[in-house]
Every structure is written in C-alpha cells, then in structure tokens.
Amino acid sequence: MAVYTNFIDQGVFADYDANMVCNQLYEYMLSRQAVSYDVETSFGLSGTVAKIIQGAALSEVKVIPFVTDDVQLFEYFFKGLGEYVGAKGVIKYAESLHLEMETGIFIELWYMDDVGALLTIDTLTVQDVLNIPAHIN
C-alpha cells in the first residue's frame, strides 16, 4: 500500500498527530480494492479547516471534518476506518461517522447527496466555502 504524506508534507495542522491521522484516513481510502470514484470530485475537507485553507482567518479547530457524496466510499469508511486509525471512540449515524483519537483529535466524515464544488488548493481537496453546511464546523 502506498504511503500518503500530503498532510505532514504540507504541515496543514500545527499538531503532527492531526496531520498523521489525516494521512492515515487517505491511506485507508486509497487502499480500497474497487476504487470507483474520483477523490478530487467526491471527497474533501470541510468546515473551519476548509475555510482557513481558502483564506479565512486562522481560528481554533475543534474537529477535522471531511465530506463525500460517494455512498460506497462512505460505507467503506463506516465499516473499518475507526479500527484502521486506532480511534479511541467511534460514533456512527446514518449520514456521519465521528472518531475520537487517543490524542484528543476529533475527525468527522459526512455523507451528503451532493457536496457541491470541491477545490484543490496546494494538493488538498476542500469543499468550497459556499457549499459548507452550517452544521459542519
């Protein structure tokens, strides 16, 4: 399996562990046998993180949210991501998956019928600020 390093390489977060768990999330996604989706059009960062990457003022990030409109990808995450990244706690809802890491980092994955526009900025795919739902921080 290929090692994904973009988050650490770019130093997206000041917290090394946050970068590492995001890399692991992408590694898990890319290890899927039947890759039938285009990551850049169906999966990306959302919430405050996406807003900051697109130029918003720096602010505290309490959770690292991702969105997808690929139901098969979401189901794949739902089945085994928590175990793969060594999550301390996992909460599953019909349209979201919430992970708490031992390091206190929180990851959310949201399924949406349509994520809207996704942009690629410095090799990171982010949801356009105009499409970020109010409930995703």
pTM score above 0.85 = yes
Tell me the domains of the chain and their CATH numbers: 6-131 (3.30.460)
Q: What is the pLDDT of residue 119?
A: 95
- pLDDT digit string (tens) for 100-124? 999 999 999 999 999 999 999 988 9
Angle at 69 between CA 125 and CA 98, to 5 degrees: 80
Task: Please report the pLDDT score of residue 9 as a whole number.
Answer: 92
Sequence-ordered alpha helix ranges (H) in 1-127:
6-10, 16-30, 39-42, 47-53, 71-84
